[in-house]
Amino acid sequence: MSEETSVAARGLTLVFTGNGKGKTTAALGMALRAWGQGMKVLILQFIKGSWKCGELIAAEKLGPNFVIRQMGEGFIRCSNDKGLDGHRAAAQNALEEAKKAMREGAADMVVLDEINCAVHYGLVDVEDVLDIIRSKPPGLHLVLTGRNVANEVVGSADLVTEMREVKHPFAVGIPAQKGIEF
């Protein structure tokens, strides 16, 4: 679509959730599309940390308008012990970064990758996510990914897509593949 539309740009809140593969991939594809339109993209990854996926390598090549920051502590093994304190602090820090970027107008699209999982694990309060959606600048696109999205977030979003697993190679023991998973 190259022709201008007569409708004023309207920032949307988009959610990719569900148990099937493709949530983060969908957000990255949308981010690439936005970047191509000259928009500034900021991707803050909750939970994920220190794992050099292909998208991080790509982001370095795409330059300052396509930024990915891994803000997490890595995989969560147990959801109900003190071991979550570090994860919680990291998630709170990521939330603050998101609010700051929105306040300062640092991006036209903000992707909060795996934030739904952060809420599910109790690292982030759902009210804080609703606050972010409510305080979003009108022109900014906000993308939230991760399994188990809270109903309240669904209620506040403009678009919600649920990826449903039909088949996944893990089920027959095929491990993660370069270019597909990382």
Residue 30 or 62: the one with the smaller Cβ distance to ligand ATP is: 30
**DSSP readout, the chain?**
--SPPSSPP---EEEEESSSS-HHHHHHHHHHHHHHTT--EEEEESS--S---HHHHHHHHH-TTEEEEE-S-S----SSSTTHHHHHHHHHHHHHHHHHHHHHT--SEEEEETHHHHHHTTSS-HHHHHHHHHHS-TT-EEEEE-SS--HHHHHH-SEEEE---S--GGGGTPPP-TTTT-
Residue 33 or 103: the one with the smaller Cβ distance to ligand ATP is: 33
Q: Is residue 72 within 8 Å of 94, Cβ to Cβ? A: yes
Residue 69 or 147: the one with the smaller Cβ distance to ligand ATP is: 147
Q: Which of 70, 170, 166, 171 is nearest to 111 (CA)?
A: 70
Q: Which of 13, 15, 23, 39 binds ligand ATP (CB under 6 A)?
A: 23
| Binding flag, residue 176, ligand ATP (CB under 6 A) | yes
| Site for ligand ATP, residues 55 to 114, rule: CB under 6 A | 114
If contact means CB under 5 to 8 A according to the sort of partner, which of Mg ion, ligand ATP, none does residue 49 touch?
Answer: none
Residue 19 or 135: the one with the smaller Cβ distance to ligand ATP is: 19
| Binding flag, residue 147, ligand ATP (CB under 6 A) | yes
| Site for Mg ion, residues 2 to 61, rule: CB under 5 A | 23-24
| Binding flag, residue 12, ligand ATP (CB under 6 A) | no
| Binding flag, residue 161, ligand ATP (CB under 6 A) | no
Question: Contact residues for ligand ATP (CB under 6 A)?
Answer: 19-25, 114, 147, 163, 165, 168, 170, 176, 181
Question: Contact residues for Mg ion (CB under 5 A)?
Answer: 23-24
